[in-house]
Structure 1
Amino acid sequence: MSSSKVDILGIQFINSSLVDIMKLLNNHIQKKEKAFVVTANPEIVVHSHRDQNYRKLINTATYITPDGTGIVKASRFLNQPICERVTGFDIFMNALQVADEKQWCVYFLGAKDAVLNRTLETVKQLYPSLKTVGAHHGYFGLDDEHIIEDIRQAQPDFIFVAMGFPRQEQWIARHISKFEKGVFIGVGGCFDVLSGTTKRAPQIWQKLNIEWLYRLLQQPQRGRRMMALPLFALKILKQKAKMLK
């Protein structure tokens, strides 16, 4: 099971398949260990260059997965090819399935109440025997002790944190030391997708590597955020130029 690292603009991405990453996470749970998973796309990488504290924070993660075609393409351009894209949504859905099979406990943290409730309803339909030991919306102070104590009492194996970057990574990094065990995964907008609040791009869009365009057409307000993509490409070109010197 490969778990080498690839440096993309100072962010250390794991170079493993989804199958192997899930084996690593399952192993942490079986050993009652803690793990911190960041699912990073080009937007997160660009933000990490604007915020050095955030950059240091995400590099403390146990695993940073390449959640974005741009990350995989950049790795190939830099002659450090990452084997495949591993999205937060795929990790999320695989974790739900394995938790259902093995009767592991899960906790959902994030999104608005309405979205969270729809997510829980969908999960119950998909996995009727899944052990959901707690859930809380994402609108609270990062140091809210009530949330921390609730999760600590529940003792979940998977903790899905859907508060968007950089907040979800900040919360995990700040508090993971307070828990005895658990795989903490920043899953961004996964609750929105699973609840049906937003739609994931159809397979054909994903295969053509234009999922970003589908999201932009669905949510035009994302246009400003999409400016991170050309900035990411420019930074990759600069990194390549340094390598050739």
Structure 2
Amino acid sequence: MENTLRKIDIKNDDRVEILNVPFVKTPKDQFIDTLLNHIKRKEKKFVITANPEIVMQTFKDPSFKQIVKQSSYVTPDGIGIVIASKMLNKPIPERITGFETMMGLLLHAEKKDHSVYFIGAKDTTMKKAVNNVHARFPGLRVAGFRDGYFSSDESSKICDEIKQLQPDMVFVGLGSPRQEKWIYENFKHFKKGIFMGVGGSFDVLSGEVKRAPRLWRKLNLEWMYRLITQPWRFKRMLELPKFLFKVFKEKAEAGTR
């Protein structure tokens, strides 16, 4: 499989700026190949999977904005990002969600004997998620895992453990922006590995939360399924129209310059 990887890194011209956030515009499979190439070269990369809510957070939190700008890659995790790219006449081919990217990487990790480390969710949820991962990928090397409820002192111990274990992939599901800030604050301590925020992916992996059915995802209606099954998300969903209005306004202002 090693020889089938595209020997391509994602350059600046493979990105689309949306409200000052540089999104990769490559197809998902090519993006996963890019990350696998970094692993092969024993490099370290910081991946942010961003939806409109995360982009809007960059306007509220300047320090978070700098973290997003300094990450290695930002992927379009949300149909709103794809719509915005089309509004700007710089179309992104497809969503690259954190969950699907993680699952694609886990599949390759099992085949290539890469090791992984998980951080996030409740202790019981994480243990269920790890058990399900082992059932789905029996040959996968899970170097370690840790729930998302830890103090600053415990955070240092987690960092030390990751430094010692040197996993090839570290998936952090602490919710945004906490997960991105944790990666950013500790990134300098690590020598190699793909570090990626994956939000509530461990809730899905554990079976406690169901993903939208395949048809809903194919029709880009996953957001609606989440709203129906998790109505408490309503306030968060309001960020989407605000985001699209901001993109429209920026495009209009650019046209008058």
Residues 41 and 71 of structure 1 are in contact (CA less than 8 Å); yes or no, is this contact kept in structure 2? yes
Please provide the CA RMSD for this pair: 1.1
Gaps (5+ residues) in structure 2?
1-7
Choose the corresponding residue for 2:156, options 131, 145, 150. 145
Query: CA shift at 1:142, angstroms?
Result: 4.8
| Partner residue in 1 for 2:55 | 45
Task: Provide, for residues 108-149 of structure 1, a one-character-per-residue CA deviation record: whole Å limited to 9, x for no partner.
Answer: 011110110010010010011110010000111356211111
> Which is worse superposed, 179-188 or 200-209?
200-209
What is the match of residue 131 of structure 1? 141
Asked if the contact 1:2–1:16 (Cα under 8 Å) also holds between the matched residues in 2, the reply is no
C-alpha displacement of 1:237:
1.1
2:130 is equivalent to residue 120 of structure 1: yes
Paired position in structure 2 for 1:54: 64
**1:70 and 2:80 equivalent?**
yes
Task: Give 1:52 deviation, angstroms.
Answer: 1.4
Aligned residues: 245
CA contact (8 A) 2:9 2:34 kept: no
Equivalent residue runs for 1:183-198 within 5 Å: 183-198=194-209
2:27 paired residue number: 17
Q: CA deviation at 1:208?
A: 2.1
- Quick one: which of 106, 113, 120 aligns to 1:96? 106
Matched residue SS, 1:229: helix
2:85 and 2:167 map into 1 onto residues whose CA distance is 34
Distance 1:67 1:110, change over 3 A: same
Alpha-carbon distance in 2 for matches of 1:222, 1:172: 25
- 1:239 and 2:250 matched: yes
Confirm whether residue 84 of structure 1 aligns to residue 94 of structure 2: yes
Q: By how many angstroms is 1:150 displaced?
A: 1.0
Structure 2 CA distance for aligned equivalents of residues 179 and 228 of structure 1: 34
TM, length-normalised to structure 2: 0.93
Partner of 2:227: 216
Matched residue of 2:118: which SS?
strand
Identical amino acids, percent of aligned pairs? 46
Q: For 2:206 and 2:43, how far apart are their aligned partners in 1?
A: 30
Give 1:2 shift: 7.4
Shift of 1:207: 2.1
TM score, norm. by length of structure 1 = 0.97
Amino acid at match of 2:242: L
For the residue of structure 2 that corresponds to 1:75, the secondary structure is helix
**1:230 aligned partner:** 241
1:181 paired with 2:192, answer: yes
Structure 1 ranges of 4+ moved more than 3 A: none
Structure 1: stretches of 5+ with no match in the other structure: none
Contact 2:51 2:81 in 1 (8 A): yes
Judged with a 3 Å threshold, the aligned counterparts in structure 2 of structure 1 residues 117 and 150 are, in CA distance, closer, same or farther, namely: same
Distance in 2, matches of 1:115 and 1:241, equals 46
1:142-201 Cα distance to aligned partner (Å, 9 max, x none): 562111111111110000001110000000011111011111011111111111111111
> 2-side partners of 1:43 and 1:73: how far apart?
14
Counterpart residue identity of residue 210, structure 2: K
